Chain A
Amino acid sequence: NAGVMQNPRHLVRRRGQEARLRCSPMKGHSHVYWYRQLPEEGLKFMVYLQKENIIDESGMPKERFSAEFPKEGPSILRIQQVVRGDSAAYFCASSVGQGSGNTIYFGEGSWLTVV
């Protein structure tokens, strides 16, 4: 999973603040995925993006959450007005192409704690 860079690795926010998580995909990858892992649970798909396009956001909560992957720069997962239930590990992943068999590589994760 070397190459997918996420920052910050750890983030603490007070309830009501905003959290911004950044992800730089592996070199040459133009497809980015965001997953959330709650304590003691598996990974839940949130959103799939290509450059400047949201392809599948079926896993995104309807409110407070948004994601973008601009033409230049990293992908951003933004959580507005955070609540304690948003505390989780957020993983970004990337792949080179859009085929379902393409390997998806994961970053080290960003751990969000809401206090």
Chain B
Amino acid sequence: AQSVTQLGSHVSVSEGALVLLRCNYSSSVPPYLFWYVQYPNQGLQLLLKYTSAATLVKGINGFEAEFKKSETSFHLTKPSAHMSDAAEYFCAVSGSEGRRALTFGSGTRLQVQP
């Protein structure tokens, strides 16, 4: 079965510091991978997605993620954190075993300290 593991339920960084949110996936076939962001009491907004076109994927708000098949990872990074980046981030996978629906990780809450 397809699954996603997000290491670290809470990550705290200083404003201007590097953001690194970890995601490892399990899939029986080459997966489609997604990162979503959720602000308090709101829905999910797509940050970026990997669909095998390129291993380094650039998204909105300065975020990017690199697909590493050998490590089964799809970590999310941003060179310099901004206060407005504070939110919950979800990694998701689809495509394995014919599953079109997304399977989400448990989420990582990012705090940005001034």
Complex Cα distance A75/B1, Å?
27
What class of interface size applies to chain A in its complex with B?
20 to 34
Residue of A nearest to B107 (CB): A42
Partner of B103, one of A45, A93, A99: A45
Complex Cα distance A98/B90, Å?
22
- Residues from chain B with a CB closer than 8 A to the CB of A59 are 101
- Residues from chain B with a CB closer than 8 A to the CB of A48 are 100-101
For residue B44, CB closer than 8 A to chain A, the reply is yes
For residue B102, CB closer than 8 A to chain A, the reply is yes
Shortest C-beta distance, B32 to chain A (Å), equals 5
Shortest C-beta distance, B60 to chain A (Å), equals 12
Complex Cα distance A55/B44, Å?
23
What class of interface size applies to chain B in its complex with A?
20 to 34
For residue A86, CB closer than 8 A to chain B, the reply is no
Given A42-B106, A106-B36: A100 in contact with B44 (beta carbons within 8 A): no
- Residues from chain A with a CB closer than 8 A to the CB of B49 are 101, 103
For residue A88, CB closer than 8 A to chain B, the reply is no
For residue A25, CB closer than 8 A to chain B, the reply is no
- Would B100 and A109 count as touching, CB distance under 8 A? no
Complex Cα distance A42/B104, Å?
7
- Would B101 and A106 count as touching, CB distance under 8 A? no
Complex Cα distance A111/B42, Å?
10
- Would A91 and B44 count as touching, CB distance under 8 A? yes
Q: Which of A41, A48, A105, A106 has the most CB of B within 10 A?
A: A106
Complex Cα distance A106/B42, Å?
10
Task: Write the residues of chain B forming the contact surface with A, with a CB cutoff of 8 angstroms.
Answer: 32, 34, 36, 41-46, 49, 51-52, 90, 94-95, 99-107
Q: Given contacts A100-B32, A103-B34, list 20 more A-B pairs with CB under 8 A.
A: A1-B43, A1-B44, A33-B102, A42-B106, A43-B44, A43-B90, A43-B104, A45-B104, A56-B99, A91-B44, A93-B102, A98-B100, A99-B100, A100-B95, A100-B100, A101-B95, A103-B46, A106-B44, A106-B45, A109-B42
